[in-house]
Amino acid sequence: MDPTVTMDQPSEVWGRARRALDGLPDGRGLNIAHEAVDRHLGTDREHRVAIRWLGVRGAREDLTYGDLAERTSRFANVLQDLGVGAGDPVFALSGRTPLLYVAALGTLKHRAVFSPLFAAFGPEPVRTRLRIGRGRVLVTTEAQYRRKVAGLRGDLPDLEHVLLVDVAADAAPEGTRSLPALLDAARSTYEIGPTDPEDPALLHFTSGTTGTPKGAVHVHEAVVAHHATGRLALDLRDGDVFWCTADPGWVTGTSYGIISPLTHGATLVVDEGEFEAERWYGILRDQAVDVWYTAPTAVRMLMRAGADLAPREDLGRLRFVASVGEPLHAEAVAWGRDALGTPIHDNWWQTETGGIMVANGPGQQIRPGSMGRPLPGVDAAVLALDDHGELRRDGAGELVRCDPDETGELALRAGWPSMFRGYLDQDERYARCFADGWYRSGDLVRQDADGYVWFVGRGDDVIKSAGHLIGPFEVEKVLLEHPAVVEAGVIGVPDPVAGEVVQAFVSLAEGRHPSDELRRELLGHARGRLGPAVAPRTIGFDQDLPKTRSGKIMRRLLRARVLGLDEGDTSTLEVAR
Amino acid sequence: MTALTESDARDLIAKVLADIAPEVDLDGARPDGQLQEELGLDSMDFLNLMIGIHDETGLTVPERDYPALSTLDGAIAYLAERTA
């Protein structure tokens, strides 16, 4: 047994982690924004840079912890002045600008619920999420508002306040307000109200195989896991320069792109731009990044760009590199050692887990291709499945665990601090995620005799593209809106860069015929409604999509057909959750 | 490789984008704005644009040169220059 693996009970691990945080003064509870920002005031961290923002056109803006405390207080006061209450949902739809971070933390200060949307979403995913989440406030940019939200206002009765980050007071379009003007007018101090650790804090949307997206609710206590796992899985230390390349529109970009590093007093690098190999290497070098958290797609794009762009000797500060989103292949782990001077540590978690659960952590031997081992405090098991994807039970009715190297479903003993506390308005769907006190991840894995976990596949039809989960139903629904389409099946197909890309197959209405022109029309329709992150990259025509007798498209069979797999083997591993 | 005038280069970009992102309105984009932002493209789209340009012309755009193609004006000038 590896001596670094603690044998403590999970409750002891998390209890210790909780004591490493301050809690609100006078025992008023636990608030994420206090742990990330306010508690650093009056210490030597107050004048340290909390957020270093790098603009796409070369601009740079530094916010110290003191600045961040003041601005987030102003934002909390803005919410207060607008009549927004504790628990009210505040959404953000914006590129990575300093005000996005101010809005996130200011919302948490005010005990409202922060829900980030990905800026590359089209109007349809934005509308669906704002509706499900009953968003009362939206923080966004003028362009995003104009393109995606202005036309939907009539369909969003709960949306009272739209705050634009990039317009002056006299330039705000009708129905919106200038956030900079509101911040200027707001008071600069704010006392965080009593916060129960179980108060909702974050709402992250994720996708399932069927139905609408699910809004996973996280509570303020999640900060215990954000803080602890930042150290355990990412080696984050006080004063580190940390760069997480994930957008706050996804859970990684919030848990580790905002909260975790700030609780450690780190300097957070925020890059406004999208991936560009040479600039990324420049950021690692010029900002003297100590810890870097990125994704396999980015790693593969860097590998593709060639090693000559990577001046390894310039990256001497880089101490720890980690990756999440999908399995990191062994070649990428080794590439990191050669090109970056440190191997890349894969880890695993989900929107529902709120924080890293399984990791190739610091000081432990990496098994290339494996997601690592369960972190201290995380009780993980591989549960055996029967031929129908149901959990297997023994004669006494107990769940059966897999033997080493046997494939089953990864499950976590419920109760860790950052566990989601519900899917908004979908109690039954939430309940289906649990069995006998275990959270069922829906991921098929095997665990070797030394405890390392190896990803095998998804147990459902959800597509993993560039580290993001995409629900096929959401895509099919938009394709079916087009009058030429009567049936649609959406699957993920392997891609050397993104892991998987979204591919759609449609059956056409009578009188419509396949053509390149129609293909483009459908692609344009889907992209216009869904945005590039969710829309299919390619669309095929198929008048004979595989269906069950009840008429449901069998995506697994479709995928098997497209990839030339044995159709007989594909249904057995489906997870019935 | 055939030399591309600036007008040819623009047509080439339009042609390749028609298969990747048919909804894009090249005429409505600010020519000096960030291409991805102006046209609503993500990194994968941009990569596919580079691959499409290669497939159409045989021209390989090295990763190092990507920043030169980050605006529409820049991309047109780059393609005209590389094929000259």
3-state secondary structure of A231: helix
**Tokens at A130, concatenated:** 């704002």
For residues A177-187, b (16+ Cβ closer than 10 Å) or e, as one string?
Answer: bbbbbbbeebe
Q: Which two tokens stand for residue A422?
A: 């519900």
In terms of average pLDDT, the best of A288-292, A312-316, A569-573 is A288-292
In a domain, B20, yes or no: yes
Domain assignment present for B65: yes
List the single residue in A120, A497, A527 with the smallest CB-CB distance to B23: A527
Average pLDDT over residues A550-576: 72
Looking at the fold, whether A44 and A130 belong to one and the same domain comes out as yes
Cα A13–Cα A17–Cα A22 angle in degrees, nearest 5: 155
Q: Which residue range is the domain that position A503 belongs to?
A: 463-569
A476 with A454, same domain? no
- Residue A564 is part of a domain; what is its CATH number? 3.30.300.30
pLDDT at A304: 85
Residues A82, A215, single domain; the answer is yes
Q: Which residue has the tokens 């004979």?
A: A544
d(CA A203, CA A217): 5
Distance from CA of A165 to the nearest CA of B (A): 17
Phi/psi at A216 (5° precision): -80, 125
Q: Which domain holds residue B79?
A: 6-83
Residues A475 and A538 both lie in one domain: yes
Annotate chain B with three-state secondary structure. CCCCCHHHHHHHHHHHHHHHCCCCCHHHCCCCCEHHHHHCCCHHHHHHHHHHHHHHHCCCCCHHHHHHHCEHHHHHHHHHHHHC
**Contact check, Cβ <8 Å, A274/B67:** no
Tell me the shortest Cα–Cα distance from B18 to chain A, in angstroms: 7
* B12 part of a folded domain: yes
| Tens of pLDDT, residues A77-122 | 999 999 999 999 999 999 999 999 999 999 999 999 999 999 989 9
Averaged pLDDT of chain A: 93
ipTM exceeding 0.90, yes/no: yes
Q: Which amino acid is at A414?
A: A
> Over pLDDT 90: what percentage of chain A?
81
Q: What 3-state class would DSSP assign to A18? A: helix
Q: Are residues A446 and A552 in the same domain?
A: no
Query: Can you tell me the mean pLDDT for A139-152?
Result: 95
Q: How many domains does chain B have?
A: 1
Domain boundary among A220, A251, A283: A220
| Residue A307: per-residue pLDDT | 67
- Residue numbers in A near B67 (CB within 8 A): 276, 278-279
- My answer on whether A422 and A480 are in the same domain is no
Question: Would you state the pLDDT for residue A466?
Answer: 86
Which among A304, A573, A352 is positioned nearest to A469, based on CA atoms? A352
Q: What is the pLDDT of residue A308?
A: 73
Calculate mean pLDDT across residues A261-278.
95
The tokens for A540 are 């095929």
A485 and A454 belong to one structural domain: no
For residue B1, tell me if it sits in a domain. Answer: no
A550's CB contacts (< 8 A; 6+ apart) are: none
Do residue B66 and residue A278 have CB atoms under 8 angstroms apart? yes
Is residue A107 within 8 Å of residue A75, measured between CB atoms? yes
Taking contacts as CB-CB distances below 8 angstroms, the residues of chain B near A305 are 63-64
A372 has pLDDT over 60: yes
Q: What is the pLDDT of residues A49-78, one digit of tens each?
A: 999 999 988 899 999 999 999 999 999 999
pLDDT at A572: 39
The whole model's pTM is what? 0.90
Q: What's the pLDDT tens digit per position in A25-40?
A: 999 999 999 999 999 9
Angular region, B13: left φ>0, alpha ψ -120 to 50, beta rest: alpha
- Residue A372 maps to which CATH number? 2.30.38.10
CB A272 within 8 A of CB A56: yes
Q: How far apart (Å, rounded) are the C-alpha atoms in residues A61 and A262?
A: 17
User: Where residue A2 falls among pLDDT bands split at 50, 70, 90?
Assistant: very low
Q: In terms of Cα–Cα distance, which of A28, A38, A47, A30 is closest to A72?
A: A38
* Token pair recorded at residue A327: 């399995």
Closest-CA distance of chain B to residue A275, Å:
7
Q: Which of B43, B63, B66 sits opposite A306 (nearest CB)?
A: B63
Nearest-CA residue of chain B relative to A537? B20
B18 CB neighbours in chain A (<8 A) are 520
The answer, yes or no, to whether residue A283 has pLDDT greater than 90, is yes
| pLDDT-based confidence at residue A543 (cuts at 50, 70, 90) | very high
Average pLDDT over residues A537-541: 96
Kindly report, residue by residue over A501-519, the tens digit of the pLDDT.
Answer: 999 999 999 999 999 999 9
What is the tally of structural domains in chain A?
3
Please tell me whether residues A402 and A514 are part of one structural domain: no
Same domain, A495 and A402: no
Residue A211 pLDDT more than 80? no
**pLDDT tops 60 at residue A568:** no
Instruction: Give yes or no for B83 touching A (CB within 8 A).
Output: no
Contact check, Cβ <8 Å, B63/A304: yes
Task: Kindly report the CATH number assigned to the domain that includes residue B64.
Answer: 1.10.1200.10
Cβ distance B67 to A301 less than 8 Å, yes or no, reads no
Q: Chain A: give the shortest CA distance to residue B13, in Å.
A: 16
Please tell me the predicted confidence (pLDDT) of residue A571: 43
Whether A192 and A95 share a structural domain: yes
Q: How far apart are CA A85 and CA A424, in angstroms?
A: 18
Taking an 8 Å cut-off on Cβ atoms, the answer to whether A276 and B64 are in contact is no
Q: Poorest-confidence range of A394-398, A466-470, B75-79?
A: A466-470
A537: which chain B residues are within 8 Å (Cβ-Cβ)? 44, 48
Instruction: Please tell me the distance from the alpha carbon of residue B78 to that of residue B61, in angstroms, as a whole number.
Output: 10
Which chain A positions have a beta carbon within 8 Å of B19's beta carbon? 520
Mean pLDDT of A173-195: 97
End-of-domain residue from the set A200, A220, A240: A220
- The per-residue pLDDT for A567 is 61
Of B21, B43, B64, the CB nearest to A275: B43
